Structure 1
Amino acid sequence: MDSLAGTQSFYEDADDSRRKRTRLIVALVLIALALAAAYYAFSAGKGGAAGADGAAAGGAAGAAAVPSITVVTPGRQSVQSTISTNGTIAARREMPVGVAGEGGRVERVLVEPGQWVGAGQPLAVIDRSVQTQQAAGLAASIRVAQADANLAQAELERAEALVSRGFISKADMDRKRATRDAANARVRVAQAQYAEATARNDRLNIVAPAAGLVLTRDVEVGQIVGAGSGVLFRMARGGEMELLAQMAEADLQRVRVGTRATITPVGSNLNIAGQVWQVSPVINPDTRQGMVRIAVPYSAALRPGGFADARLVAGTAQAPLLPESAVQSGPEGNYVLIVDGKDTIRRRPVKVGTVTDGGVSIASGLDGSERVVVLAGAFLNVGDKVKPVVQKSSQ
């Protein structure tokens, strides 16, 4: 009986514990539901307020959606028409210098490339030991001939003193005069031969044909030179240089003799003033280009064979002038954005002309009366509504 009573008490305690756990779970669930309901009610109220605020803000944003854009009306201004090209520097009048005489062994070379020389100044000295002896022999022959001439003249004078006394016949007088004349002729022949030898000796040395700048030297001491030795020195007469520029056929039509140019050698920031002195009368049928020769004064930065850029001023023209920021480019070429009469963005293709410090000239596409977007063009689309703010065009 005691065992049965214990068992029954055990089961009653278990049921009582189960009931307590159930009531606790139900209470927790009810609390959770109450919190959820409260949170939902709070969120709904806040959302309604936010919706009202959003509607008000949306109306304000709609009013402020049209941006203010700076535009310019360029008009038409006087713009220098320039042509950009490039080419090779060369001596304007290059003088090749070689052997003018019979040549020989080079004893001394007196100049180096880069030196200035005067007209007739020796560039190299040729050995003339043999020629000097030959000239000395010819000079002696002049003295011998002169002595014979003097003797013939003295004999003629003595014969003339005796002819009146009948000691000398007229035939003898004629022979003596002929002897005197022949002796004088031999003197002149000897003098001519000596002068010829002296002139040849004077041509042995290699001299500058005119004043200028030595460009190259192709001779060394001890070298045997002659008429077939070719060019030994190259000179630029007066140091004058030129730019040989190939230009397109269309640009060539705009260039005249006397056109001003600015030359910039590659690798430097120098701007050297030049002038077109010759325009090619023919066009290369393969390249459709012609040669323009631009005279440039001497400068240490100009080296024949070097490369240089050139900008030619081909005149002035009336054209719209825009800031560089207003001109954009795309696959179809250059264009600008303009604002039409309804304050709407439109796209206008243009052809760019000369680029100057003042801006970019427009060769075609604008007449100058348009309202052109200056900035922020990359952020605008065709058809956008804008509020244009006109900026004064720089004059």
Structure 2
Amino acid sequence: MKKSRILAVAAIALVGGAAALGYTQTALTAAPVEAPADAVAVTAPPAIRVVAAERRELVERLVVTGSIVARQEAAVGVDLSGMIVQELMADQGDTVRKGQVLALLDRSMLETQLAQADANRAQAEASVAQVAAQITDAEIGVRQAAESLDRARELQRKGIAAQSQLDNAVNAYDSAVAKLESARKALAASQAQLGVIDAQKQNVELQIQKTQVKAPADGLILARNATLGGIVGASGGALFRIAIDGDLELSASVPETSLPRLKPGMAVEVRVAGATEPTRGEVRMIEPEVNQTLRMGVVRIALAQDDAVRVGNFARGSIETTRRDSVAVPLAALVYKGTDGFLQKVTDGRVATVPVSIGVRTDGFAEIVSGVAAGDEVVSRAGTFVADGDLVRPVRQQDTGAVAR
């Protein structure tokens, strides 16, 4: 009986162990299998910052540099030689009017020549009067000789006078006519001499007028080369240089590839070396010739009146070449393949690389002529983290709490 009890206890133990083993297997089979935390991070789409293409005003500018010059310059000089500067009446930096006297030259020698010309003219006038009186006498002589000749012919016809008397009358008449003709020629010569003297006098008077060195136009005196007591000459160069009307402009160099973008009338902001405020300007002219060595053209920019601007100043001009409202994206969003531009457009969380036509580039933005529309979202920094077809989680500017790449 004791043996039977031992067997019964062993059987119960076996049954309990089997039940426990079955429960454990069932529990292991039914329990869910949890994936590692690293597996979740791998399968989640990456967070990528995106920006929307938007319409904005784009202003493109071309920066040029050069020097300030006079738009038109006048050189003031004289064609007199050996004249001494007697008085200076204007200086560098003065604003002058047309006809204003800038300097006076010593004209004492010219006044002496003028007095001599007046004396010569008086002498010539006296000579003309004397010859005119001789002509009057010669005309009387011709008339008397003609009357004598008529009487001699009448007497000869009647047979009263000898042939010799008629011959003498003819000779007297011819002599009187010759004297009259000579007197008339003498009068013409005297009158011609009077004309020569008048021309000489006029020339001296003109030279006297030139001793007053006058401004040929309104403007600003840029340079004064005349000195008090200095001797001037026709080959001595200009005594004064004047910027006509005081108009100054920027003569700036421009690469030949940029010249087609420029047109007269374009607005320019000019900054002169040392000036704190910019000066307004406008493209006046694009010179037609390009330097064949430097491959540079020249643009002339008219400037507004500004006391801070001086001839010779170095200046930098910013020319507004384009201003328009267009679809634009940040320059960082563009990716290039050769010379072609592309954007990584994000639609429903998937990246699609699309070709685009690029226009103006300015202020960190690029104009998109075609390829995307306003409101389309693109990867803000393209070509670095994602490729065409990738699934991403877009992070917009207003989103918070996301990790943007």
What TM-score do the two structures reach when normalised by structure 1?
A: 0.66
Taking the TM superposition and a 5 Å limit, the aligned residue runs for 1:118-197 are 118-166=97-145, 169-197=176-204
Give 1:276's aligned residue: 284
Map Cα deviations across residues 215-248 of structure 1 (whole Å, 9 max, x no partner).
1112210111212322322111222222111112
Residue 67 of structure 2 corresponds to residue 88 of structure 1: yes
Q: Structure 1 pair 336/327, CA: closer, same or farther in 2 (3 Å)?
A: farther
Unmatched segments (≥5 aa) in structure 2: 1-36, 149-172, 387-391, 400-405
Using the TM superposition, name which of 65-74 and 247-256 deviates more: 65-74
- In 1: Cα distance, 2:371 partner to 2:272 partner: 36
- Aligned residue-pair number: 322
Residue 82 of structure 2 corresponds to residue 100 of structure 1: no
Contact 2:74–2:243, Cα closer than 8 Å, also in 1: yes
- In 1: Cα distance, 2:114 partner to 2:378 partner: 88
Give 2:272's aligned residue: 265
Residue 315 of structure 2 corresponds to residue 308 of structure 1: yes
Residue 212 of structure 2 corresponds to residue 233 of structure 1: no
Taking the TM superposition and a 5 Å limit, the aligned residue runs for 1:1-395 are 71-75=51-55, 79-166=58-145, 169-266=176-273, 267-282=275-290, 284-316=291-323, 319-321=326-328, 340-341=346-347, 343=349, 353=360, 355=362, 360-362=365-367, 367-369=372-374, 370-371=376-377, 382=385, 385-388=393-396
Q: Structure 1 pair 373/112, CA: closer, same or farther in 2 (3 Å)?
A: farther
Corresponding letter in the other structure for 2:277 = N
Give 1:40's aligned residue: none
Unmatched segments (≥5 aa) in structure 1: 1-57
- In 2: Cα distance, 1:336 partner to 1:270 partner: 38
* Shift, 1:300, TM fit: 2.2
Contact 1:85–1:246, Cα closer than 8 Å, also in 2: yes
Corresponding letter in the other structure for 2:238 = V
Q: Structure 1 pair 367/346, CA: closer, same or farther in 2 (3 Å)?
A: closer
SS at the partner of 1:156? helix
- In 2: Cα distance, 1:82 partner to 1:269 partner: 18
Q: Structure 1 pair 86/231, CA: closer, same or farther in 2 (3 Å)?
A: same
- In 1: Cα distance, 2:302 partner to 2:236 partner: 32
SS at the partner of 2:110? helix
Q: Structure 1 pair 256/279, CA: closer, same or farther in 2 (3 Å)?
A: farther
What TM-score do the two structures reach when normalised by structure 2?
A: 0.65
Contact 1:113–1:216, Cα closer than 8 Å, also in 2: yes
Corresponding letter in the other structure for 1:152 = V
- In 1: Cα distance, 2:93 partner to 2:213 partner: 17
- In 2: Cα distance, 1:361 partner to 1:113 partner: 50
- In 2: Cα distance, 1:292 partner to 1:222 partner: 42
Q: Structure 1 pair 91/268, CA: closer, same or farther in 2 (3 Å)?
A: same
* Shift, 1:160, TM fit: 2.6
- In 2: Cα distance, 1:349 partner to 1:102 partner: 76
Contact 2:345–2:378, Cα closer than 8 Å, also in 1: yes
* Shift, 1:208, TM fit: 2.5
- In 1: Cα distance, 2:230 partner to 2:393 partner: 85
- In 2: Cα distance, 1:343 partner to 1:390 partner: 17
- In 1: Cα distance, 2:351 partner to 2:94 partner: 65
Map Cα deviations across residues 183-223 of structure 1 (whole Å, 9 max, x no partner).
21221111111111222232334332333221111221011
Q: Structure 1 pair 385/183, CA: closer, same or farther in 2 (3 Å)?
A: same
Map Cα deviations across residues 276-308 of structure 1 (whole Å, 9 max, x no partner).
3133432x3443322222233443232111122
Superposed CA RMSD = 4.4
* Shift, 1:134, TM fit: 0.9
